[in-house]
Structure 1
Amino acid sequence: MSFLKVQDIHHTYFTKDTATTALSEVSLTVEEGEFVSFLGPSGCGKTTLLSIIASLIKPTEGTVLLENKPVSTSNNDIGYMLQQDYLFPWKTIEENILLGLKLSKQLNDKTKNYALTLLKQMGLNEDVRKQLPKQLSGGMRQRAALVRTLATEPKLLMLDEPFSALDYQTKLKLEDLVSNTLDEFGKTAILVTHDIGEAIAMSDRVFLLSPRPGRIHKTFEMPKELRESSPFAARNHEAYPSIFQTIWKELESLEQG
């Protein structure tokens, strides 16, 4: 039984005058502990598909099952990490990372200590806890946002271009940090990205979506030696360039076609 099952998803956005089909006949499965990416041309429905899986949008047709049950926004099984960190500027980092626990009524001494331990593991020391978001760099804020997401112990983590606003060096460091953290906790994750290299370096499998309406055009399974490497090491592996070229050409043909 697959951990996540997406079955025959079709989604159309309706306005007063138009109907735009964003996704058509999308089916896929994700196993527990797996890291997969959605890659494709702009406007192919990657974020729409992520939102449907997270139960933020109800699809026009189709179902999404997590551990064989329909997904729901009423539980804490799914965590989100976005391009912007969305930390509250008037709250300290400690208050921000405990917010999810507070809202879900899970905040107690044990969960608070877990969140603060996570913060330390992310390289954010005790001095940082009392600071405001504006006092931290973009990379540090994204680490705090990841801690806030992981603190509620979600079963499935959604990553919607979480590194795209960062400088390249910080992005590479955070890719490694996030990948290692998710491996350590055995988390299942789905990444939406425009970055082919990022998808290859971080993923076990890459789903390439066709232009609108988005369909699963092709699935690329990363070789074992890349899957077992850190993202930084994967980018420097001898197998990396040929996989990059293969996906690049496939993506280019989709955009031209």
Structure 2
Amino acid sequence: MNFLSLDSIHHTYFSPKTATHALSDITLDVKEGEFVSFIGPSGCGKTTLLSIIAGLIRPTEGTILLNQQPIRKMKEKLGYMLQQDYLFPWKTIEENIFLGLTIMGTLTEEKRKEARDLLAEMGLEGVETSYPKELSGGMRQRVALIRTLITEPQLLLLDEPFSALDYQTKLKLEDLVYSTLKYFGKTAILVTHDIGEAISMSDRIILFGSKPGYIHKIFEVPPPLKELMPFEVRNHEIYPGFFQIIWKELEKLESRID
């Protein structure tokens, strides 16, 4: 049984004078515990599709099911991690982490302990009473991950969460996020422009074409790479060849746009 099912998703943006076709006939299944990445040329609808999965946009046509239920009824089961951490600057780190639980009325002492344990595991012990401006960008993204995980989402949606970070911090966070999601058995979808990031973190990579967005090709990450941490994947002997295969397909798509 598929965990997440997208069936014949079409989406059109309408304005008073124009209609822009963003997505065409997207059909895709994701298994529980799977990590899937969306890549493709700019404007191919990756983020639009992620927003539709998140229930932020209703598709013009098609259905999305999470555990056999319409996705719009399952919004509380979704976690969203973005390029910006969107921590409230006037709230402490602890208050930011507990915001979702407080709104839902599910904040318990057990959850407080779980958050403290996660902070310690991610090298953030003792920052509970600090404010976001006192932390680095990488530290704030780790807080954003904890805030997302603490609500126990069934599906995580990651929209270029590392793109605003320096390269060294980005590589460290890739390893941290990957290992954390695997430990908790989470299902995740990542939107990224970085082929290397997609290869190093994913089980499958969905390459989109554009105008309108459609699934051009699906790449299964080779089994030897799936067993490694993201940083190790980039140093594996079969990584360059697999990277080139995806790069060439992406170049073909971009040359059609030009």
TM-score above 0.5, yes or no: yes
Deviations 1:204-228 (A, max 9, x none): 0000000121100000000111111
1:75 deviation in Å? 4.0
Q: Which runs of 4+ in 1 moved over 4 A?
A: none
Name the SS for the 2:76 alignment partner: coil
Which residue is 1:104 aligned to? 104
With structure 1 as the length reference, what TM-score do the two structures score?
0.98
Deviations 1:74-115 (A, max 9, x none): 642100000000000011111111111111221111122112
Aligned length: 256
1:5 corresponds to which letter in structure 2? Answer: S
Which residue is 1:41 aligned to? 41
Which residue is 2:117 aligned to? 117
Name the SS for the 1:171 alignment partner: helix
RMSD over aligned CA atoms reads: 0.9
Name the SS for the 1:76 alignment partner: helix
Alignment of 1:71-220 (within 5 A): 71-72=71-72, 75-126=75-126, 128-220=127-219
User: Does residue 62 in structure 1 map to residue 62 in structure 2?
Assistant: yes
Name the SS for the 2:16 alignment partner: coil
- Percent of counterpart pairs with the same letter? 66
Which residue is 2:16 aligned to? 16
User: Does residue 243 in structure 1 map to residue 242 in structure 2?
Assistant: yes
1:230 corresponds to which letter in structure 2? Answer: M
Q: Distance in 2 between matches of 1:8 and 1:246?
A: 27
Name the SS for the 1:20 alignment partner: strand
1:98 corresponds to which letter in structure 2? Answer: F
With structure 2 as the length reference, what TM-score do the two structures score?
0.98
2:146 corresponds to which letter in structure 1? Answer: V
Contact 1:56 1:73 in 2 (8 A): no
Structure 2 residue runs of 5 or longer lacking an equivalent are none
Name the SS for the 2:32 alignment partner: coil
Q: Distance in 1 between matches of 2:105 and 2:12?
A: 35
Q: Distance in 2 between matches of 1:168 and 1:256?
A: 28
